[in-house]
Structure formats: C-alpha cells, structure tokens
Amino acid sequence: MNVLEVQNLKKEFNGTEIIKDISFEVKEGETLVILGPSGTGKSTILRCINNLEKVDGGNIIVNGSSMIKEYKNSKPIYNNKEILNKINLEIGMVFQDFNLFPHLTIKENIIKPLKYVLKKGKEESEEIAKKALEKMGLIDKIDSYPCELSGGQKQRAGIARSLAINPRIICMDEPTSSLDPELVGEVLKAIKQLASERKTMVIVTHEIKFAEEVADSAIFIADGKIVEEGKPEDIIRNPKEQRTKEFLKRYI
C-alpha cells in the first residue's frame, strides 16, 4: 500500500521552476532515497511534503488524504486545516541542522509536542520519550540541553523527537550534511536501524554507500526532474543516463 504519493509536483521560486513535474510513490515500510546534485530541488520536495512550502502544481497524497483539494485557474487550492493537520502528523521531519529547541532539555524537546499536540499525559509522554531515546542510544542524555550534545547526538535526538509523534513517514533532509565526518557513522547507523524495523522513510542524502545499503528504492533528480529511478544498487552501480553517471563519478 502506498503511504505517500507525489503526483506531478511543480514548484517555482520567483518565476523559476525548481521542480518540474516530479512523481513518485512510497510503500508502507519502504525507504526511498532521493539523490542528485545540490540545488536541484531535493530538499524542496521534502519541504512540500511537509507543507513547509506550497506547491505550484500537482498533488501530494499521504495515507489516502490529499493535500490539494482542487485547482482553480491552474492555482492549487489546499484542503482545509483539519485535513492538513492530520496529514502533518503523519509525516515527521528530520532537518539538516537539527532544529532542536535550545532552551529545552532533550526530554522536553520530545515531550512538548506529545503534551500540547497529541494531548498525552505526563507519564505516557515520558515513557514514549524514553523509548525513542533508547532506540537512538541517547538515554543518558535525556536531561541534557542540546548545546551539551555533539552534532551526531543532536541529530539522533532530532530523529527521536520525530519518531515520538509516531508518524507514518519520516522525511530526512540531508541528515548528516552538517556533521563532522567522524560523527556521520553513528547517525547513519541509527537510520539503518529504523529501516530494518520497516519504518517508512524518504531520505535526501549525499551518502551514496549508505543509500545503497539502506534504501529499497531510489530516485536520481537533476534540474528538477527525475532522471533515473529504480533499485538503488542499479542506479548507483549501473547508471543508464549520462547525468547520473557524471554525478556518481564524484562519489565512487
């Protein structure tokens, strides 16, 4: 079953089309990686899925609910707040620069949304926070502030916070790009663990080897279009298109 369908997505910034007609789908339990050169709109796709950017064309369907209600004069009309809020909670987001809340402990970072958005009680929230942090190997940092954590720990805390609201899909926007090289491994390992537990994920990454290991499918994007799609090992080891070959040359 498809938990996420992106249909003919279009997005422009100041009249320049950044995303030109991109479609893909993600099945329950599947990990999709989005590869491609910088500045080709990979992050923008995730931002549209998270409703951080408004689309200019196409549609995004999450677990059967459609973000766009209709088109009027070829302008998208979004569905009502209730539907969008429901969709919002089905999608988690892990940011490149973590975006933890610096004034709150790691535990509070995780608990606040549980308390204020999902209206869960204190004990249940703490239980969920502990579980998420245990999974990310951060239970000993539960009462630390983000500024006391290393980059890798911050990102794992970011993943834990996203996991805690139990979304159907977790989007990760270059989760290791702001990390020192020696800290990349621990974050990739944590993501791999989620993949092995069949958490549905869409990951934008430049870590080619990781992509091959973790993903069930991959799309390669350049100039706002899908150049190639399929099994990650096929795209990475036997790219068909010239554009893909050029890109991968730099990594392998």
Partner 1 sequence: MNIDKILNIAKILFSGLGTSIEIFIITLIFSIPLGILVAVLKNSKNKLISGIMKLYVLLIRGTPMILQIIFVYFAPYYLFKFSYDRFVAIIIAFVINYAAYFAEIFRSGINSIPKGQWEAGFTLGFNKIQIFMLIVLPQVVKKILPAISNEVISLIKTTSLAQIIGVAEMFSFAQKQSSYNFSIVPLLIAGGYYLVLVFIISILFNKAEKKLEYYS
Q: Which of 3, 55, 60, 91 binds partner 1 (CB under 8 A)?
A: 91
Q: Which of 29, 37, 76, 113 binds partner 1 (CB under 8 A)?
A: 113
Q: How far is the CB of 1 from partner 1 (least distance, A)?
A: 23
- Cα separation, 229 vs 239, in Å, equals 10
- Cα distances (Å, whole numbers) of residue 41 to 50, 79, 218, 230: 14, 24, 15, 19
By CB under 8 A, tell whether 165 contacts partner 1.
yes
Q: Nearer Cβ to partner 1, position 124 or 241?
A: 124
Q: Which of 2, 20, 101, 223 binds partner 1 (CB under 8 A)?
A: 101
By CB under 8 A, tell whether 93 contacts partner 1.
yes
Angle, vertex CA 245, rays to CA 38 and CA 190, nearest 5:
55
Range in contact with partner 1 (rule: CB under 8 A) among 44-52, 65-73, 221-229, 235-243:
44-52
- Cα distances (Å, whole numbers) of residue 241 to 212, 227, 237: 18, 7, 12
Range in contact with partner 1 (rule: CB under 8 A) among 5-13, 88-96, 184-192, 222-230:
88-96
Rg of the chain over Cα atoms, rounded to whole angstroms, equals 18
The token pair at 144 is 């630390």
CB 175 within 8 A of CB 96: yes
By CB under 8 A, tell whether 122 contacts partner 1.
no
The token pair at 111 is 């608990």
Q: Nearer Cβ to partner 1, position 26 or 93?
A: 93
Which of 150-155's residues contact partners 24+ apart within 8 Å by CB, and which partners? Answer: 150/183, 151/98, 151/178, 151/179, 151/180, 151/183, 152/179, 152/183, 152/184, 152/186, 152/187, 154/98, 154/100, 155/94, 155/98, 155/179, 155/187
Q: Find residue 76's DSSP bridge partners.
A: 71
Q: Which of 118, 139, 226, 248 binds partner 1 (CB under 8 A)?
A: 118
Contacting partner 1 within 172-201 (CB under 8 A): none
Range in contact with partner 1 (rule: CB under 8 A) among 4-12, 97-105, 183-191, 199-207:
97-105
- Cα separation, 93 vs 110, in Å, equals 13
By CB under 8 A, tell whether 161 contacts partner 1.
yes
Range in contact with partner 1 (rule: CB under 8 A) among 24-32, 85-93, 135-143, 226-234:
85-93
By CB under 8 A, tell whether 51 contacts partner 1.
yes
Closest Cα to residue 209, out of 248, 242, 160? Answer: 248
By CB under 8 A, tell whether 116 contacts partner 1.
yes
Interface contacts to partner 1, rule CB under 8 A: 50-52, 85, 88-89, 91-93, 95, 97, 99-103, 112-113, 116-118, 145-147, 161-162, 165
